[in-house]
Amino acid sequence: MYPNPSKGHFSIQFSSQSENDVKIFVHDLLGRKVFEKKYSKSSSAFNEDIQLKNITSGVYLLTIEDGDRKEEKKIMIN
């Protein structure tokens, strides 16, 4: 994930090891969902640009679900 911090526009890249769709979620620190999207599996290389609209500055939690694999990262929005 880069850049971090960002202004609400960032890229996610990783090697997918699942045949399932990839789900991306962004929550604020109070647990409110501010972004959710499912991406169809097209290849093992996942590469998507994410644009968060009308989002305030702060720290958010980015969750990536790839089959049974789930990872969370903090992202700072300026």
**Rounded Cα–Cα distance for residues 21 and 52 (Å):** 21
Query: How many other C-beta atoms lie within 10 A of the C-beta of residue 10?
Result: 20
Report pLDDT for 77. Answer: 97
**Is 37 a member of any domain?**
yes
Q: Give a yes or no: residue 69 inside a domain.
A: yes
Residue 3, domain member (yes or no): no
Write the CATH number for 44: 2.60.40.3080
**What is the model's pTM?**
0.90
| Domains identified in the chain, total number | 1
| 53 part of a folded domain | yes
Return d(Cα 1, Cα 12) in angstroms, integer: 4
CA gyration radius for the chain? Answer: 12
The residue range of the domain holding 70 is 9-77
> Which pLDDT tens digits describe the chain residue by residue (78 residues)?
999 999 999 999 999 888 899 999 999 999 999 999 999 987 889 999 999 999 999 999 999 999 899 999 999 999
